[in-house]
């Protein structure tokens, strides 16, 4: 068994893989990480290996707790990957994007793949049919767009995402919803169209926290998999064992 740890800015996802199957998945706040890890190893004592992908929210002491129970691999830019990394500044590439490219490599090998991760930010990652990671783009995510309009204006309210009744907003709140939801949907479809024009037989994978919210709005055909990053991390853990 493998323990996969994906640490974001405020929450940590903990997934247990038995071979390629997720048999347990939970999300905890960073402050409760150590307590959650101890509980997991009590319930699943057969976990032998773990990988941590962190944007900086987990301390070294918190990671050491995992290493007490099993072999631990901390994902860095120096970790081995199964594809050629052609990013111009690989030392600045987010490790989450390495994991997404790895998941694409195993999901659809030797093909053109565009992975779109709709989370705090929306990231676009391109792996071509020569198994070469090219890079992509980063833009604000759904909630970040709402936050920015509230924080950088005097009177616009802070809203949570919601379903649209019409793309023409008839109140200020509806106008904000229309701007955010239609804006990000049209952006994603537009980016997909750009990549399709350049790469033949492009496969598009949508993942991240806003997968379900956005997937039904896109005109382009996509594969939606909210656990794609976790699967990529599991592949990377196995790849770095050798």
Q: Is 30 annotated as a binding residue?
A: no
Q: Is 167 annotated as a binding residue?
A: no
Q: Is 9 annotated as a binding residue?
A: yes
Calculate the alpha carbon distances from 232 to 17, 200, 210 in Å. Answer: 12, 24, 18
Given the residues 96, 125, 210, 225, select the one marked as catalytic: 96
Q: Is 77 annotated as a binding residue?
A: no
Sign, Cα dihedral of 13, 187, 192, 97: negative
Please answer whether residues 13 and 22 qualify as being in contact, where contact means their C-beta atoms are separated by less than 8 angstroms: no
Calculate the alpha carbon distances from 31 to 3, 10, 209, 220 in Å. Answer: 19, 9, 21, 39
HEC profile for 155-199? Answer: CCCCCCCCCCCCCCCCCHHHHHHHHHHHHHHHHHHHHHHHHHHHC
Q: Is 102 annotated as a binding residue?
A: no
Q: Is 97 annotated as a binding residue?
A: yes
Q: Is 6 annotated as a binding residue?
A: yes
Q: Is 60 annotated as a binding residue?
A: no
Please answer whether residues 215 and 206 qualify as being in contact, where contact means their C-beta atoms are separated by less than 8 angstroms: yes
Q: Please tell me the distance from the alpha carbon of residue 80 to that of residue 98, in angstroms, as a whole number.
A: 10
Please answer whether residues 169 and 176 qualify as being in contact, where contact means their C-beta atoms are separated by less than 8 angstroms: yes
Q: Which residue in this structure is represented by tokens 């319930």?
A: 43
Tokens standing for residue 157: 């309210």
Q: Is 147 annotated as a binding residue?
A: no
Q: Please tell me the distance from the alpha carbon of residue 85 to that of residue 130, in angstroms, as a whole number.
A: 11
Please answer whether residues 229 and 25 qualify as being in contact, where contact means their C-beta atoms are separated by less than 8 angstroms: no
Q: Is 71 annotated as a binding residue?
A: no
Q: Is 11 annotated as a binding residue?
A: yes
Q: Known catalytic residue: 129?
A: no
Q: Is 141 annotated as a binding residue?
A: no
Q: Is 232 annotated as a binding residue?
A: no
Q: Is 120 annotated as a binding residue?
A: yes
Residues forming the annotated binding site?
6-13, 87, 94-97, 117, 120, 172
Residues forming the annotated binding site for K(+)?
117
Residues forming the annotated binding site for ATP?
6-13, 120
Catalytic positions, please? 96
């Amino acid at each position: 068994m493998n323990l996969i740890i994906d640490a974001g800015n405020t929450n940590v996802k903990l997934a247990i893989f038995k071979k390629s199957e997720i048999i347990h998945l939970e999300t905890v706040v960073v402050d409760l990480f150590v307590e959650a890890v101890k509980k997991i190893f009590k319930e699943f004592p057969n976990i032998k290996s773990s990988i941590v992908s962190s944007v900086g929210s987990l301390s070294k002491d918190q990671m050491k707790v995992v290493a007490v129970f099993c072999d631990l691999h901390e994902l860095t830019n120096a970790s081995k990957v199964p594809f050629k990394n052609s990013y111009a500044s690989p030392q600045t590439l987010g490790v989450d994007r390495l994991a997404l490219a790895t998941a694409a490599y195993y999901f659809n090998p030797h093909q053109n793949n565009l992975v779109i991760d709709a989370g705090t930010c929306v990231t676009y990652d391109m792996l071509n049919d020569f198994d070469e990671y090219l890079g992509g783009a980063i833009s604000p995510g759904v909630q970040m767009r709402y936050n920015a309009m509230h924080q950088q204006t005097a009177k616009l309210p802070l809203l949570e995402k919601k379903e649209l009744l019409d793309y023409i907003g008839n109140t200020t709140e509806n106008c904000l919803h229309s701007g955010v939801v239609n804006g990000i949907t049209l952006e994603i479809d537009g980016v997909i169209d750009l990549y399709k024009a350049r790469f033949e037989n492009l496969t598009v994978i949508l993942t991240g926290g806003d997968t379900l919210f956005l997937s039904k709005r896109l005109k382009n055909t996509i594969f939606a998999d909210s656990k794609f990053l976790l699967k990529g991390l599991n592949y990377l853990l196995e790849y770095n064992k050798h």
